[in-house]
């Protein structure tokens, strides 16, 4: 008999909420003993609420919050977040290095990380991938994950590390237990479909207007969860798990399921082909209660992005 603990602050119908729940699952799975690995399910109660399941009854909200914060602090110095390269005589901490720089960085990680199933290497496989040269690109090009919505002076890895060092216990608690207050101006990755600022409604480009208020605890846990979405080559093009289309017209599709699933099982489910095209019978066999899809919104093809409100498939 497992011990269930709901996380009422999260709504799985929001991409940021879904990713934050996966981030909490990832953090807890990394820190928990093998005999008490957490599992995750979803319960519809006006919104899609995640529920964590443990074998031990020693888990409560406080222990979950403290454990998630401990993992976030731990990865602040993780080598996968230390990528830095030069551009126009400036040090850059983003996801657009040259193909040779990215290759050297990956080789360094493989040499330095002993555990081949570690979060570090999973994250490296999720952050970027190299596409071979094409008629347009005369040399291989590093493509960042399609979750890369930043632009301009924003640098993804710099923002990620800043969050790991500055989020507090109250930030994690707000993300998981709620309510989301949108009071802080720490970096955020613009994955919250409820707070995207439409470029067309503004006189100036909002990507350069400074930090936006957000829910930093949710953002940092969501960033942790990107390790569940590896990139892969398909027809000589780099693709991000869960996505269809490209960085301008793409869409993110995700499932919400009833049975408690381990992180490994969740990773397998997320990589199911044609998730949005499954029949009701196929969904029922996998315990899937809903499949949602959110389109990317990128008013300027070279600018920042955001998610539109999701639709059910």
Q: Is the pLDDT of residue 151 over 60?
A: yes
State pLDDT tens for residues 10-40.
999 999 999 999 999 999 999 876 678 999 9
If you search the block for the tokens 């979803």, which residue do you land on?
A: 42
Q: Is the pLDDT of residue 201 over 50?
A: no
Q: Range with the lowest mean pLDDT among 67-81, 100-114, 117-131, 227-241?
A: 227-241
Q: Is the pLDDT of residue 211 over 70?
A: no
Q: Which residues, 6 or more positions from 209, have their beta carbon under 8 angstroms from its beta carbon?
A: none
The model's pTM: 0.92
- Work out the pLDDT band at 203, boundaries 50, 70, 90: very low
d(C-alpha 166, C-alpha 185), whole Å: 11
- Work out the pLDDT band at 115, boundaries 50, 70, 90: confident
Give the pLDDT mean for 209-218: 78
Predicted pLDDT of residue 298: 82
Q: Is the pLDDT of residue 145 over 70?
A: yes
Beta-strand runs (E) in 72-182: 85-87, 90-92, 128-131, 141-144
d(C-alpha 54, C-alpha 59), whole Å: 7
Q: Work out the burial of residue 99: count CB atoms within 10 Å of its CB; fewer than 13 is exposed, 13-18 middle, 19 or more buried.
A: middle
Predicted pLDDT of residue 198: 44
Q: Is the pLDDT of residue 133 over 70?
A: no
Predicted pLDDT of residue 95: 95
Q: Is the pLDDT of residue 209 over 50?
A: no
DSSP state of 184: B
- Work out the pLDDT band at 169, boundaries 50, 70, 90: very high
Mean pLDDT of the chain: 89
State pLDDT tens for residues 57-109.
889 999 999 999 999 999 999 999 999 999 888 999 999 999 999 999 999 99
Nearest C-alpha neighbor of 183 from the set 172, 171, 173? 171
Predicted pLDDT of residue 36: 80
Give the pLDDT mean for 244-248: 89
CB 71 within 8 A of CB 27: yes
Residue spans of the domains in the chain: they are: 3-312
Q: Is the pLDDT of residue 300 over 80?
A: no
Give the pLDDT mean for 116-129: 91
Predicted pLDDT of residue 224: 98
Give the pLDDT mean for 214-231: 97
d(C-alpha 62, C-alpha 201), whole Å: 41
């Amino acid at each position: 008999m497992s011990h269930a603990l709901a996380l009422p602050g999260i709504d799985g119908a929001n991409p940021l909420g879904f990713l934050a729940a996966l981030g909490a699952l990832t953090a807890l799975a990394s820190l928990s003993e093998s005999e008490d690995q957490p599992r995750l399910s979803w319960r519809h109660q006006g919104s899609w609420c995640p529920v964590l399941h443990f074998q031990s009854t020693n888990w409560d909200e406080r222990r979950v919050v403290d454990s998630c914060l401990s993992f976030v602090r731990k990865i602040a110095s993780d080598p996968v977040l230390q990528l830095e390269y030069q551009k126009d005589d400036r040090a850059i901490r983003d996801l657009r290095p040259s193909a040779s720089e990215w290759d050297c960085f990956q080789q360094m990680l493989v040499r330095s990380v002993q555990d081949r199933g570690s979060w570090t290497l999973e994250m490296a496989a999720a952050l970027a991938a190299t596409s071979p040269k094409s008629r347009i690109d005369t040399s291989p090009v590093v493509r960042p994950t399609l979750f890369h919505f930043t632009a301009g002076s924003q640098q993804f890895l710099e923002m990620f590390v800043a969050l790991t060092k500055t989020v507090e216990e109250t930030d994690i608690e707000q993300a998981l237990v709620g309510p989301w207050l949108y009071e802080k101006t720490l970096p955020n990755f613009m994955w919250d479909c409820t707070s995207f600022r439409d470029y067309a409604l503004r006189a100036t480009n909002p990507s350069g207007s400074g930090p936006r208020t957000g829910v930093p605890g949710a953002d940092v846990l969501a960033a942790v969860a990107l390790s569940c979405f590896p990139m892969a080559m398909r027809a000589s093009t780099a693709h991000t798990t869960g996505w269809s289309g490209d960085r301008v017209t793409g869409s993110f599709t995700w499932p919400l399921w009833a049975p408690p699933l381990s992180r490994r099982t969740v990773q397998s489910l997320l990589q199911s082909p044609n998730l949005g095209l499954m029949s009701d019978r196929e969904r029922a066999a996998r315990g899937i209660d809903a499949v949602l899809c959110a389109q990317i919104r990128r008013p300027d093809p070279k600018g920042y992005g955001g998610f539109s409100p999701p639709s059910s498939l």
